[in-house]
Homo-oligomer: A and B are copies of this chain.
Amino acid sequence: MERMGTAHSGVETDWRRHADERLTDAGYRRGGARTALLDLLDVQRCARTVLEIEDELRASDRTIGRASIYRVLDELEQLHLVQRIEVGQGIARYERLAPDHHHHHLACKDCGAVIPFTDDRLEDAIHRLSAGAGFEVTGHDVVLHGTCAACRAAAAASVSTA
């Protein structure tokens, strides 16, 4: 049976099922906090901070302790089920790590938004580079810093107004 009803955009990654499997294989039991967190991560589109995760869980009446969020996210990162990224300001963000979908981020320095994007040429360059390097590369992380379209528009508008 195919899963459905998630907010994934077309491609069903089956991340949730894969995660359950990996967790079971690794000897983890099924706790309420972890389940709630997995459900949330499964539906999320892009990297979230722990505070955001906490708020969203509380909003859907599945409040769990902050320590549990950190602990579970750490486990999931060890199992390569989520990726931890930092786009500045020293606040960690987490997102699902799907084998078939990989993206990077633009961090808007005006509004703080984190916007995902993909680029094949970039991916290709990183793969070639990784293969030829003297070190073993297990993952990578690209962050573009700049201003998002909305903030650019807002800035332009305020200039013409002034």
- Report A's interface with B, CB cutoff 8 A: 84, 86, 88, 90, 92, 106, 108-109, 115, 117, 119, 121-122, 124-126, 128-130, 133-149, 152
Inter-subunit contact A145/B137 (CB<8 Å): yes
Inter-subunit contact A134/B149 (CB<8 Å): yes
Inter-subunit contact A106/B135 (CB<8 Å): yes
Give Cα A130–Cα B88 distance, bound, in whole angstroms: 19
Residues of B within 8 A of A122 (CB): 122, 125-126, 129
Inter-subunit contact A141/B138 (CB<8 Å): no
Residues of B within 8 A of A119 (CB): 125, 129
Known: A86-B86, A88-B86. A147 touches B125 (CB 8 A): no
Known: A143-B140, A144-B140. A149 touches B126 (CB 8 A): no
**Partner among B128, B145, B148 whose Cβ is within 8 Å of the Cβ of A139:** B145
Inter-subunit contact B135/A115 (CB<8 Å): yes
Shortest Cβ distance from residue A75 to the other chain B in the assembled complex, whole angstroms:
16
